[in-house]
Amino acid sequence: MRLMLAVILVFGLAAGLGLGATWWTVAHGLPVARLAIGPWRAEPDAGTLAADPYERAGAARRGEAPLAYGDGLPFTAETDDSGRPLDLACDYALEGRLPNARLWSLAAFQPSGKPIESQGEPIGLNSANVVRTDDAPLRIALSRDARPGNWQQLGGAGPFVLRLTLYDTTIGTPLDRADPDVLLAIRREGCR
Amino acid sequence: MMRLLYALALGLTLGGLVHIATLFAVPLMAPGSAYDRLAAATPVGRFAVLPDAGAETLPFRDPSFVMAACRYDLADGPVTIRASLPSTYGSVTVHNRYGQPFYALTDKAATNGAVEVTVLSRDDVAAAEVEDAPEGRPALRIVSPTPTGFVLVRLFASGPSARPALRHLAGKASCERAATRQISP
């Protein structure tokens, strides 16, 4: 009887821990990222054949075709600067200077990967359509009500993620001696 | 007491093994992987431009890009990919069956605005060496780690007005079976 209990304990523990750890890491990724700049996280390996098993499993689970590293490097933000999860019911102000890249783009997605639409078009700002001001950092407003400058409308409620992709960048390579300490600061304003 | 500790240690060790085994099995068994999603939307051997909206085809697609996808199957021989990449920004990436990219070219590598790559399986490498064309531009050949996979052509659209022309251009990319030459005995 004692032996039976021990066997059940061992196998129960093994299945619970093993499957639980797999489920959690595949859904959330590893808690540490190779590149973490403010709330932005990136894994330069994920777009190569040298991707680790966690990155492979996560991409397969999301059904995503990772961006090849020779193409670009995507940074994902799930929280604002103070660590609160991004919520569609809130207004956000993004501000910062972006590192050298041939091209960058900013997009908003639901956690499932569906693009978030703003007035019937997916939210998609990029270095070609953004408005810049002389001698001032780049400013982007994500809010319900219209703002001057770069504005994209948020609506509804629920969590979302932001993806900032730098195309043809040296970030993450040995050429880039120091990673920038800020990409775009994400500041939460009001919430409804 | 010792027995309980022993059972806990054994459980932890087995749990680690279960974790590793299941983690490696996820890409092989995940339903709705990138290849499966494209299988529902695109035929084998032909490029299809993915619709601008909708996550069903591929999640986390950059909305600033126009994307076309083609699935390949190397069972019947090598496949040649030809795509025009405008100098605004365009890329061709080759992904294996599990979605992992193993080759990428941007418009910087284009000659006359176009790129041409032949994807072959490991078994076809030797045959391809023999039938190397003596003339013409050097052929770019890459070996696919899996017998099936897909190719993505991504063209940067600076604004909505650029999209129709780019969609047309992306749709003109081809990934047909490579022309094989007869080797005379």
**Model pLDDT for residues A114-157, shown as the tens digit of each residue:** 888 877 788 888 988 888 888 888 999 998 888 888 888 888 88
pTM above 0.90, yes or no: no
CA distance B125 to B147: 13
Q: What percentage of chain B exceeds 70 in pLDDT?
A: 88
Q: How far is CA A104 from CA A177, B9, B48, B156, B169, in A?
A: 20, 49, 25, 10, 22
Its ipTM equals 0.85
- pLDDT above 90 covers a percentage of chain A that reads 33
Burial class (CB in 10 A: 0-12, 13-18, 19+), B36: middle
> B156 contacts in A (CB within 8 Å)?
103, 126, 128, 167
CA end-to-end span of chain A, whole Å? 58
For A122, nearest residue in chain B (alpha carbons): B63
Task: Say if the Cβ atoms of A115 and B55 lie within 8 Å.
Answer: yes
On average, the pLDDT of chain A sits at: 87
Closest partner residue to A71 (CB to CB) among B24, B99, B106 is B106
Strand partners, B115: B83
Q: Quick one: average pLDDT of A43-69?
A: 89
CA distance to partner chain A, nearest, from residue B179 (Å): 28
Chain A closest CA to B123's CA: distance in Å? 20
**Is the pLDDT at A1 greater than 80, yes or no?**
no
User: Of B14, B53, B104, which has the smallest distance from its Cβ to A68's Cβ?
Assistant: B104
3-state secondary structure of A106: strand
Radius of gyration of chain A (CA): 20
B104 within 8 A of A68, measured Cβ to Cβ: yes
Could you report the per-residue pLDDT of B38-95, keeping only the tens digit for each?
988 888 889 999 887 665 688 899 989 999 999 999 988 889 999 999 989 999 999 9
What are the chain B neighbours of A150 within 8 Å (beta carbons)?
none
Structure-token pair, residue A25: 């890491």
pLDDT, residue A105, reads 93
pLDDT of B183 over the 50 cut: no
What CA–CA distances, in Å, run from A15 to A20, A149, B6, B15, B157?
A: 8, 53, 17, 6, 48
Phi, psi of B125 (to 5 degrees): -60, -50
Of B27, B32, B60, the CB nearest to A163: B60
SS3 B165: helix
SS3 of residue A74 by DSSP:
strand
- For chain B, the average pLDDT equals 86
| pLDDT tens per residue, range B113-126 | 889 999 988 888 77
pLDDT at residue A9 tops 90: no
CA separation for the pair A183, B105 (Å, rounded): 26
Kind plus residue range of the DSSP H or E element containing B168: helix B163-171
Contact B38, B69 (CB under 8 A): yes
Distance CA A75, CA A164 (A): 5
- In angstroms, the separation between the Cα of residue A22 and the nearest Cα of chain B is 6
Chain A contact set for B149 (CB, 8 A): none
- Structure tokens of A122? 């997916």
Kindly state whether A63 is in contact with chain B, defined as any CB-CB distance less than 8 angstroms: yes
Task: Count the helix, strand and coil residues of chain B and give each as a percent rounded to the nearest 5.
Answer: 35, 30, 35
B92 to chain A: which residues are within 8 Å by CB?
A: none
Please name the member of A2, A59, A69 whose beta carbon is closest to the beta carbon of B99: A59
Contact between A161 and A28 (Cβ < 8 Å): no
